[in-house]
Amino acid sequence: MIAVRLAFAAALAAAPLALPARAEAAAWTVDAAKSRIGFSGVQVGAPFQGRFTRFTAQIDFDPTVPETGHAVVDIDLASAEIGDAQRDASLPQAAWFDVKAASQARFEATRFVAKGGDASEAIGSLTIRGIRRDAVLLFRLTRAGATARAVGHLDLVRTQFGVGQGPWASGQWVALEVGVDIDLTATEAASKP
């Protein structure tokens, strides 16, 4: 279940800054060293946190015309870690992320909606273990010159993506609810006319 939460977190975290270029928006390059896709959950009553150490993001986004934006974030599910050797080893296995069958999770935002102030929603889909579902990521975007930072959160139910098979399919040991957090820093690569 921890692995499921990690995948959700990673995919959603990368979404706000991972936008492919479109004619009306600006292209962005994510600084992986300053960015993080994380996840959180509860196992046997104890909260835990983890992260995905490898992901890529393509971003095309202009906060003044958010509806023209697009983003694709691919997360390497085998890079999920929570800092516990036994749990980290179980995450790539068939019961959790099943990386042999599908090694990546993908969040794709097909549009953005301004929510007032620095808040926006990335609206699109999340795919994990070959299961694609609608997803909405609420995030806040701040800019300093050509650099932007997106910080967002999404709550998911891991079993909607088949994460947590067999004895892990219920919430008895690992809660079904997973939190995904993103903190992405990117630099504007080019402006489109």
pLDDT of residue 24: 57
Q: Out of 49-63, 82-96, 178-192, which region has the weakest mean confidence (pLDDT)?
A: 178-192
pLDDT of residue 26: 85
DSSP assignments along the chain, one per residue? -HHHHHHHHHHHHHGGG-----TTS-EEEE-GGG-EEEEEEEETTEEEEEEES-EEEEEE--TTSGGG-EEEEEEEGGGEE-S-HHHHHHTTSTTTT-TTT--EEEEEEEEEEEEETTEEEEEEEEEETTEEEEEEEEEEEEEETTEEEEEEEEEEEGGGGT-S-GGGSSTTTB-SEEEEEEEEEEEEEE---
pLDDT of residue 25: 72
Task: For 9-54, write each residue's pLDDT tens digit.
Answer: 444 444 444 434 334 578 999 999 999 999 999 999 999 999 999 9
pTM of the complete model? 0.82
Q: Tell me the domains of the chain and their CATH numbers.
A: 2-190 (2.40.128.110)
pLDDT of residue 155 exceeding 90: yes
